[in-house]
Amino acid sequence: MSFINIKQKTSTLKEVIKRKKEKAKVKAKLIEEEGNYYLQDKHTKLKVKVKQSFLSQLNKVRIFSLLKVKDGYEITGFSKILTLPKQRKEVKFLVETEAYKEMKETFERAIIKIHNVASKKGIIVMRYNNDADGVAGAYALKEAILKEYDIEPLMLPNRSPFYSYKDAIKDVNLIRKLNKSKKPVMFILLDMGSSGELISYFKLMEENIGIVVIDHHPLTIELPSAVLLLNPSIYGKEEITAGAVASELGYMIAGLRVTSGVLAAISFYGDKIYNEVLEAYMEKVKDKYTYEEIKKISKVVDVEAFLGSNHLAPLLYKKDITDEIPTAEVKIPEDKIWICQLLKDTQMAPSTSEARRLIKQGALKIDGEKITNENLELEKGFEGIVKLGKKRIKKVRIY
């Protein structure tokens, strides 16, 4: 569906159909008066002005059925279905917090930005940190946009926890290849820091790409005014994950209560944030999932082998996937082993120096927790899921 812009208020259109019940069809005619075009109800003669630039979409059909639908109105003319602008959605939170209240206007602006691209079947790119928090938030937004607009965002998990200039160059080149027809484009950067390399944002802006940043880390630089930032940490209220913010945005777009609630809870467990906000999300989905189930999902949600186009589906269907992770058993002569040596011995890194470099870059996670200490030692008896970078993951046992 594509959207027709009208200059008159939607309230006028309500008068056209108020005499009919919900979902009752009303005959309307496309008419021309002094060079302007209107949709006119055949019985009440009330009319709504239509911009001339959209007449080509009407395919010169003169008789339509005007149908009231949820939050809007549809015109049906033979094989053409065109939707009139919806009224602005009221922002309603799945879980209401002080930080969310402060962010209400920003949420509204994000909804409008997404709508302006998605309603025109543009390209929405989701760049997200490849951990439980980032993945959960990205999946929540993807499902909402898919349900509401029938378009699927391009999902790009990120190895580093910030958006670099190198990432921006790659993304711009990708968009140039994909967007030959010059559709509107927007990027949603999720759980990748509120700062990053400032030049990377300008690189996207040069291409007329809209940017929404969803994050929960402290802001260390002033972002360009064209970048829309959703970050609860700015308000110094409750500790809230980026995934939860994205889940709330998804809930506002499509009203997916269970999906939004579950994914928000997963993001909290993934980042090991246990507070009253997590409790509130769990309360919303307690009839579907237990605490233990959510906790288990969050531990393995970033297993790359299961992060495809529908990467959370196996987890949300409560499939136990931990047995499918490759296992590595390491026998050590001492009581402890250096983490870099462990990564080499398990063939996750070609050398200890390469392992050290990757750890410094933030590529190592143990049981979902990011490890940046390259001098870490693990004790004999350790068992856990070790992930290095995007694709190297093993269930390790030290004996």
Query: What's the pLDDT tens digit per position in 307-350?
Result: 444 445 444 444 334 444 678 899 998 899 999 999 999 989 98
Q: Give residue 357's domain range.
A: 325-398
Residue 348 lies in a domain: yes
* Residue 205: pLDDT over 90: no
- The pLDDT > 70 percentage for the chain reads 70
* Residue 97: pLDDT over 60: yes
Looking at the structure, do residues 255 and 134 belong to the same domain, yes or no?
yes
Residue 213 lies in a domain: yes
Task: Name the maximum alpha-carbon separation found in the chain.
Answer: 92
Find the mean pLDDT for residues 361-369.
83
Looking at the structure, do residues 385 and 268 belong to the same domain, yes or no?
no
Residue 365 lies in a domain: yes
Looking at the structure, do residues 67 and 186 belong to the same domain, yes or no?
no
**What local confidence, expressed as pLDDT, does residue 307 receive?**
46
**What local confidence, expressed as pLDDT, does residue 19 receive?**
41
User: CATH number for the domain including 341?
Assistant: 3.10.290.10
Looking at the structure, do residues 357 and 394 belong to the same domain, yes or no?
yes
**What local confidence, expressed as pLDDT, does residue 102 receive?**
92
Find the mean pLDDT for residues 233-251.
91
Looking at the structure, do residues 306 and 379 belong to the same domain, yes or no?
no
Residue 244 lies in a domain: yes
Looking at the structure, do residues 170 and 190 belong to the same domain, yes or no?
yes
Pick from 279, 294, 316: which residue ends a domain? 316
Pick from 51, 83, 115: which residue ends a domain? 83
Looking at the structure, do residues 354 and 309 belong to the same domain, yes or no?
no
Q: Which of 18-27, 299-308, 383-392 has the lowest mean pLDDT?
A: 18-27
Pick from 262, 281, 316: which residue ends a domain? 316
Residue 39 lies in a domain: yes
pTM beyond 0.75, yes or no? no
Looking at the structure, do residues 260 and 133 belong to the same domain, yes or no?
yes
User: CATH number for the domain including 272?
Assistant: 3.90.1640.30
Please provide the average confidence, as pLDDT, over all residues in the chain.
Answer: 77
Looking at the structure, do residues 139 and 266 belong to the same domain, yes or no?
yes
Looking at the structure, do residues 309 and 330 belong to the same domain, yes or no?
no
The count of domains in the chain is 3
Angle CA 286–290–295, to nearest 5: 125
Band of residue 372 on the pLDDT scale cut at 50, 70, 90: confident
Find the mean pLDDT for residues 249-269.
91
